[in-house]
Chains A and B, each alone.
Chain A
């Protein structure tokens, strides 16, 4: 196959070409290495990739195939990982200076599962430092650019994972989503991105941000590809005590059955002011499509939505301030040369090693947990979180899936929000409540603005019901295939 055809293919198409003998993993991997070399100078999605290692994995895959020992549909297909997911022997920086020289001594569970499925583990993708941000501008190693408009952000925090798929540098990637960090960049880059139910995918080997909210999930050009990757990374893991013992269906098979009859809920709170007109128009067209194929559209209410950003930033920063205490300059981070005593090592190493947003959030979290403020902020936020969760439970008594925009606007310009934390925090307003309630959500490209920027819709499902959610998303995606459109680079 010629290289341009390979890089524009979905994982499904590559998998089929491999099993038909039309190409080899070595050829596929070479095509993507070539593409990364051609376009990543502009996009800066990758923080690290090792072509030699990628080609060695591809060669092993080809050898397995020649001996009929292929490990599954993704055997020989490249997958990139957000730089918070551990791969033994590779760097893991979390886009932070404090982990500049860190090398992972072990594999994350998702990495192990990918290796067992024969996927070619292909490099580390840029993000907002420690996954804190919505634009990838908070990376200590320079921002990723939106492949559709290089003057604009790709979203975040998994901006590198989204941009790499959009720029056709890789067919599949993994990101992590704490308040929208998969879905929002997927929307801004015009690809599909999914956050599974909390507990579906092991967090072992994921650098923790907010442990009660973080989930790993896939990016791809199509819902079909996302289903394929989700099927491989999901499942109970004894190494993550919050991972849930549920049976994982073959999602790629589930997609063959349409969700019918199906009821879609529209929460009025998500369609109020603050939404860009072009986003509204695209999402309304998607709703019309669902009506036209026989879906019932029902109004629902999620009255606590307005509180979700406050609840999220109290809980997430509190958990972060505790989780990031481990980066202390003692065991595995860079140590300040100016430190004179033990406390100095902590304070100076963290002061020098952390970027601005990470410092801001750790301080905010420490405040929310501090004596005298715990009840007013942290405990109150946890109680309000219960109200948000109950809103969804009530809505799901009436509908199968909830539909909203993913982001209030298409991709914004660099610097537009970076000095105003609240305005940046509000760019996650449609995605945050899903994490607080633990529910699965997927962003599917549903249109373009007049200036050619991608727009995404979000579908939210019931807990551990990824099957019907993917099926509803697929019914739109297979007709419109907007994630298959590529930017000119």
Chain B
């Protein structure tokens, strides 16, 4: 099996916002290289003029009735949040000084 890959694993794991351990990084580099090589067969398919399928049975203009319905209380909405204070999720500062 090929160990060649076109994927820059550090760049793509950063895009995906996933920290990898060093051994995962090495393992994925090889495995994903093989997977991408398997995908190569797609490059030989004649798709000129073929429309892409995003959904098997697409529906358009699906409207909901614009009427109020009961929603979550803040307690329900926050019940799974990892850090909460005063009915709000705590996050670190996101604005640079």
Contact = CB atoms under 8 A, between A and B. Distances in A.
A370 interface: yes
B69 to A, nearest CB: 10
Contacts of B86: none
Given A343-B17, A363-B13, A370-B15, A311 B42 contact: yes
B92 interface: yes
A367 B93 CA distance: 29
A307 interface: yes
B82 A438 contact: no
A347 interface: yes
Which of the four size classes fits the interface of chain A? 35 or more
Given A385-B53, A463-B56, A360 B31 contact: yes
Contacts of B14: 347
Given A330-B91, A359-B18, 11 more contacts: A314-B39, A331-B80, A331-B81, A341-B92, A341-B94, A350-B19, A351-B19, A359-B28, A363-B18, A367-B36, A383-B52
Interface stretch (A46-54, A99-107, A217-225): A99-107
Contact of A367 (B12, B51, B77, B79): B12
Among A101, A363, A463, residue most surrounded by chain B Cβ atoms (within 10 Å): A363
23 contacts: A197-B57, A198-B56, A212-B55, A241-B59, A241-B64, A242-B55, A310-B39, A310-B41, A330-B89, A331-B80, A332-B80, A332-B81, A351-B19, A364-B32, A367-B36, A383-B45, A383-B51, A383-B52, A386-B53, A389-B53, A389-B56, A436-B53, A437-B56
Contacts of A244: 57, 59
Interface in B30-89: 31-32, 34-36, 38-39, 41-43, 45, 47, 50-57, 59, 62, 64-65, 72, 76-77, 79-83, 89
Contacts, number: 170
A486 to B, nearest CB: 36
Given A343-B17, A366-B12, A421 B56 contact: no
A398 B41 CA distance: 29
List the 8 closest pairs (A to B, CB-CB), nearest first: A438-B56, A351-B19, A382-B52, A332-B80, A335-B82, A383-B47, A366-B16, A346-B17
B56 A360 contact: no
Contacts of A379: 52
Contacts of A106: 72
Nearest to A385: B53
Interface stretch (A153-161, A263-271, A321-329): A321-329
Interface of A: 101-103, 105-106, 197-199, 212, 238, 241-242, 244, 306-307, 309-311, 313-314, 321, 325, 328-335, 339-343, 345-348, 350-352, 354, 356, 359-360, 362-367, 370, 376-377, 379-387, 389, 421-422, 425, 436-439, 463
Quick one: which of B13, B18, B36, B83 has the most chain A CB within 10 A? B18
B17 A335 contact: no
B84 to A, nearest CB: 10
Taking each of B57, B81, B93, which has the highest tally of chain A beta carbons within 10 Å of its own beta carbon?
A: B57
Nearest to B19: A351
Interface of B: 7, 9, 12-21, 24, 28, 31-32, 34-36, 38-39, 41-43, 45, 47, 50-57, 59, 62, 64-65, 72, 76-77, 79-83, 89, 91-94
B91 A342 contact: yes
B15 A351 contact: no
B28 A363 contact: yes
B28 A325 contact: no
Contacts of B20: 351, 359
Nearest to B18: A350
A165 to B, nearest CB: 28
A354 B83 CA distance: 20
Nearest to A335: B82
Given A328-B17, A340-B92, A380 B55 contact: no
Contact of B18 (A310, A354, A437, A439): A354
B57 A199 contact: yes
